[in-house]
Structure 1
């Protein structure tokens, strides 16, 4: 699946394959941010849905629900940090 995604991106932007290492660094940074943001969105959706179900039954659990939502959003922040580290090496 990952290989298919990368090949599709390369077909859409044929100059990336010829541009060299710097272009691959930009591609890696973009994939890092993009995929981690998608994963964070899925995680927040699942955790948020479960949290709303729990809060309907036990309203006192709102603090824990917010903590779990924050942990799910952390995935996107980690992807952004990795992208910044990659771009710092270019």
Structure 2
């Protein structure tokens, strides 16, 4: 049974931003104290949770897109071996599967803009 590496890449795409967000949560009190000492700026107490939410949105969308591209791509290659004239239509299907990751990235950016 042949396994695809695409879900592993999606899992890594989820784990790295979550690790960065958790690191921010750990360092956040020091950053808040420095910001208060330097100026009267208010640091949002929910910034770390917003970063985790953005990481989950982007990571799960990347994981879903990786799985979709793996499934659609393998089916597209099989279809192209029988009918090579379907190349254009099949590229559109693979592009639609990749669009899922872009939607997740847009949601992550929208979440981070509210912080």
TM-score bracket for the superposition, by shorter chain length = 0.7 to 0.9
Offset, 1:16: 4.1
Q: Distance in 1 between the 2:90 and 2:73 partners?
A: 8
Q: Distance in 1 between the 2:46 and 2:114 partners?
A: 11
Work out whether 1:27 is the aligned partner of 2:49.
no
For residues 4-24 of structure 1, the C-alpha deviation after alignment (integer angstroms, 9 at most, x for no partner) is: xxxxx7xxx5x849x641111
Structure 1 segments of 4+ aligned residues over 4 angstroms from their partners: none
Q: Identify which of 67, 70, 87 aligns with 1:45.
A: 70
Higher helix share: 1
Work out whether 1:76 is the aligned partner of 2:101.
yes
Farther off after superposition, 56-65 or 19-28: 19-28
Farther off after superposition, 20-29 or 54-63: 20-29
Aligned-residue Cα RMSD (Å) equals 1.9
Partner residue of 1:4?
none
**Whose radius of gyration is greater, 1 or 2?**
2
Partner residue of 1:64?
89
Aligned residues: 78
The answer to which structure, 1 or 2, has the higher relative contact order (CA under 8 A, 6+ apart) is 1
